[in-house]
Structure 1
């Protein structure tokens, strides 16, 4: 099994966050299902980064990246809740 590099995991999380941000901002073409999938993807990527890089030389940057991504999930959940009540 290939060991994940920090840069690879960081890029995957950034791509997931970009998709999530598009949903949160209400960009055309993003559905509630897209939002739910993006929330799950970012959450999973954050958990993965914490597990793989919670300790060691990349731990500080990893914690900063995860701390930045988690509020994006909260914002997307808030948007999803608003859409469900419309």
Structure 2
């Protein structure tokens, strides 16, 4: 999960570094694959709270929630990359 989040962040940085619409278009296929893989991984993640009766269970739940939030943030960044940029 961490590597997927890192890949999504790296792809967002590539998109932000692209200076022209042509450069962004050239990256779009890779962008869509990375975003699709991230969305698929989020869909397959457990949604339940797990064993919250123990301190270890709560710590694991908290760590998983932080990872999920990081991945969702990266996904939001990637989605914003697809929006038309205002003219400068």
Give the alignment's TM-score, normalised by structure 2.
0.55
Contact 1:24 1:76 in 2 (8 A): yes
Query: Highest relative contact order (Cα 8 Å, sep 6+), 1 or 2?
Result: 2
Higher Rg:
2
- 1:27 shift after superposition: 5.2
Q: 1:66 aligns with which of 71, 75, 79?
A: 71
- 1:77 shift after superposition: 0.5
Structure 2: stretches of 5+ with no match in the other structure: 51-59
- 1:13 shift after superposition: 2.4
Q: CA RMSD in A?
A: 2.9
Runs of 4+ in 1 over 6 A off after TM superposition: none
The residue correspondences of 1:1-80 to structure 2 (distance < 5 A) are 9-26=1-18, 30-55=23-48, 56=50, 57=60, 58-78=63-83
- 1:35 shift after superposition: 2.2
